[in-house]
Amino acid sequence: MTSPSATSPEITLRALRDRWADTKAAERANAQSYLRELCEALGVPTPQPAGSGYEFELPVKLITRDGTEANGFIDCYKAGHFILEAKDVAGGASDVALRRAYGQARQYAAHDPSGSAPPYLLVLDVAKTLLVYHRWGGTYQGFAAGHRIDLASLDQRRADIDLLRDIWTAPAKRDPRQHAQAVTQEIATKLAALAAALEGRGFEPERVARFLMRVVFSCFAEDVDLLPRDAFRQTVQRAGVEGDPVKFQRALETLWHAMDEGGMFGFESLLRFNGHFFKDAEALPLEKADIVLVLEAAKADWKDVEPTIFGTLLTRALDPVERHRLGAEYTPRAFIERLVRPTVEEPVRERWTAVQVEVLQLRETGKPKDRAAAEQRLRDFLGWMQGLRVLDPACGSGNFLYVTMHVLKDIEYEVVRELEALTGHQELRMQEIGPANFFGIEVKPWAREIAELTLWIGFHQYWKQHHAVQPPEPVLADTGTLELRDAVLAWDEAAVDPSRSTLDPTPRLVHPVTGELVPDPTARRPYVAYHGATPATWPDAEFIVGNPPYLGAKRMRDALGDGYVEALRAAYPTVADTTDFVGYWWRTAAQAVARGTAMRAGLITTNSITQVHQRAVITEAREAGA
């Protein structure tokens, strides 16, 4: 094993560049020699003999499309770290050659001998370029989205040096999810404490929730440069902590009015935010202890907030009943991706792969007319993607919609990068996949509001990572795509019928002997009659995803009320009374696929959906393609 160099990597990399400046192309020999020297210059271990798990020319068994086996050899492999494929072409490898190398690396990753694909794929054009792809988001980003390192100037970029050293020695250090989860949990805990303090002083939950949502987006906005740096934090510090709470309240309302309309705040010009988050700019009167909590939240690193965690935790922070569950399990992003990827990503990527093959063939002719045709093919596909609609008919705090948005934007970014590589100039983004592409139905008012907040935070996080310019105004648009209503039942009027009330079985009283909670014998549960009830309709969407509420058929009356269950069953006469509540979501999704308004649907449910009394609904869904 080569000992790490004591000389600074900048010096050794400069020497490496000079030594390889005029080397003649010789792919296999040059690749191995260069990689050894690159490792020495970076101060990381060099590849070892065969069988070590860090070696050159690792043999791999591949399964081809027709099911037969083929032999392959990974140019350089480090288990749990990376797969590297190399090219060495005089004058530099073309994008076409690098694309093929990337495709080969992805194929090897699918057959990784360790049984788990490594976090990184590397494509090397010897001594010239190194392309880096990671799969921290669950899948490798496509060819055009790789991070490109110019090896000739690597000595001048410390960030890329540190990245490569981490890839070789500690790849998990670059996993952003660990830091994001800790930051998000800490922020939500502070917001929950602030919500509890305000409600304890008699403020209505709705006012508290709207106030906290404005605080949340203000904290986030200044950390992704939508607000002038520290505009919100300094307002809290100077006007609140160091000043007077009354003046702080006025200062905060002044800031939020300026954010809503766009304009001046002090000496700073603000973007126009608009959207309904800041139409009401009320700042609640806070005590010093409350202002300190706001300042502590504002000091967190909001650009790393994970929306899939944040939406759930913020919902709980705003709900007194749920607040004690802030540390409870939420639906992990990886779990959501297990549904979103086969439902949405795979069919979109299948189309994208076909477009890439067509574009590659057109580019290889070298003819101007074919190059123009390739550009048009990319633009047509991009337009199709940007018109896609995704529906979550039980959207909750928006986690499934956010993950789907991120998956689609990764592909969109690949298409844009491909266009830029083809045309040689930067694409102007007049339209992008964003919150307006995502539709939801939700019965809880604050879950719906937070779903919209989750989508906008996710959108602007992605924008900040991939753009050097400010987003178009207004920064927040009121999309109107998230509806507050029932997803399976519609009605003309709902009225209480006192004559049909029943005993309330909810345990409320402490039994004097056993000490256990028991029902109150005097409590009555109202009967609500739903007049004119019909099946609810869903907005058209190419993809339907989500995690509908699970209620067994036997528990539906207790949870939803006798009147609702009777109206539901009357509105769906062909659905058996033994069907679980989630079955109504499956049936509606299946009908959307069957009539062609949806390409594919994927909903999470329990194993009970496969039981005999559920089979009619699930069979209908499968036959429709859901």
**Average predicted confidence (pLDDT) for the chain:** 86
Of residues 2 and 452, which shows the higher confidence score? 452
Side chain identity at 387, as an amino acid letter?
G
Mean pLDDT of the region 157-161 = 92
Lowest mean pLDDT segment, chosen from 330-339, 387-396, 479-488, 491-500: 330-339
Task: Say whether 189 sits in a helix, a strand or coil.
Answer: helix
245's CB contacts (< 8 A; 6+ apart) are 285, 286, 287, 288, 291
Q: What is the pLDDT of residues 560-581, one digit of tens each?
A: 999 999 999 999 998 888 888 9
Q: What is the pLDDT of residues 344-403, one digit of tens each?
A: 999 999 999 899 889 988 988 889 999 999 999 999 999 999 999 999 999 988 999 999
Task: Look at residue 300 in the predicted model and tell me its pLDDT.
Answer: 85
Q: Is the pLDDT of residue 6 over 60?
A: no
Of residues 446 and 291, which shows the higher confidence score? 291
The DSSP-derived string for 494-518 is: EEE-GGG-EE--SEEEE-TTT--EE
Task: Look at residue 295 in the predicted model and tell me its pLDDT.
Answer: 93
| Nearest CA among 578, 597, 580, 579 for reference residue 589 | 597
Torsion sign, CA atoms 164, 165, 171, 173 = negative
Q: Is the pLDDT of residue 539 over 70?
A: yes
Task: Say whether 547 sits in a helix, a strand or coil.
Answer: coil
Whose tokens are 């073309």? That residue is 94
| Nearest CA among 250, 306, 311, 265 for reference residue 444 | 311
| Nearest CA among 453, 437, 324 for reference residue 390 | 437
Task: Look at residue 79 in the predicted model and tell me its pLDDT.
Answer: 95
Mean pLDDT of the region 400-424 = 92
Mean pLDDT of the region 494-500 = 92
Six-digit token pair at 16?
């490496």
Mean pLDDT of the region 32-59 = 95
Side chain identity at 15, as an amino acid letter?
A
Whose tokens are 């934007």? That residue is 409
Q: Is the pLDDT of residue 342 over 90?
A: yes
Mean pLDDT of the region 446-454 = 88
Of residues 424 and 48, which shows the higher confidence score? 48
Task: Look at residue 4 in the predicted model and tell me its pLDDT.
Answer: 44
Residue 313 pLDDT grade (very low, low, confident, very high; cuts 50, 70, 90): low
Mean pLDDT of the region 172-184 = 74
Architecture of domain 9-174: Alpha-Beta Complex (3.90)
Q: Is the pLDDT of residue 5 over 50?
A: no
Q: Answer yes or no: are the C-beta atoms of 343 and 601 closer than 8 Å.
A: yes
Mean pLDDT of the region 539-552 = 93
Of residues 523 and 233, which shows the higher confidence score? 233
Lowest mean pLDDT segment, chosen from 41-45, 208-212, 589-593: 208-212
Q: Answer yes or no: are the C-beta atoms of 409 and 456 closer than 8 Å.
A: no
Q: Answer yes or no: are the C-beta atoms of 454 and 310 closer than 8 Å.
A: yes
Q: Answer yes or no: are the C-beta atoms of 462 and 406 closer than 8 Å.
A: yes
514 C-beta neighbours (distance < 10 Å), count: 8
Task: Look at residue 616 in the predicted model and tell me its pLDDT.
Answer: 60
Mean pLDDT of the region 157-165 = 93
169 C-beta neighbours (distance < 10 Å), count: 15
Lowest mean pLDDT segment, chosen from 76-80, 140-144, 262-266, 595-599: 140-144
Which pairs count as long-range contacts for 357-361, CB under 8 Å and 24+ apart, including other chains? Answer: 359/418, 359/422, 360/96, 360/99
The C-alpha atoms of residue 560 and residue 573 are separated, in whole angstroms, by 18
Q: Is residue 44 left, alpha or beta, with left meaning phi > 0 and alpha meaning psi from -120 to 50? A: beta
Lowest mean pLDDT segment, chosen from 147-156, 205-214, 239-248: 205-214
Which pairs count as long-range contacts for 146-151, CB under 8 Å and 24+ apart, including other chains? Answer: 146/102, 151/17, 151/38, 151/127
Task: Look at residue 25 in the predicted model and tell me its pLDDT.
Answer: 66
Task: Look at residue 120 in the predicted model and tell me its pLDDT.
Answer: 95
Q: What is the DSSP letter of 45?
A: P
566's CB contacts (< 8 A; 6+ apart) are none
Q: What is the pTM of this model?
A: 0.80
Q: Answer yes or no: are the C-beta atoms of 115 and 80 closer than 8 Å.
A: no
Q: Is the pLDDT of residue 128 over 80?
A: yes
Mean pLDDT of the region 472-500 = 93
The C-alpha atoms of residue 197 and residue 547 are separated, in whole angstroms, by 32
Task: Say whether 123 sits in a helix, a strand or coil.
Answer: strand
Give how far Cα 243 sits from Cα of 134, 231, 250, 292, 297, Å: 47, 16, 12, 12, 18
Q: Answer yes or no: are the C-beta atoms of 69 and 111 closer than 8 Å.
A: no
Q: Pairing relation of β-strands 543-546 and 390-392?
A: parallel
Domain ranges of the chain: 9-174, 177-325, 333-484, 489-624
Q: Is the pLDDT of residue 282 over 90?
A: yes
Q: Answer yes or no: are the C-beta atoms of 115 and 99 closer than 8 Å.
A: no
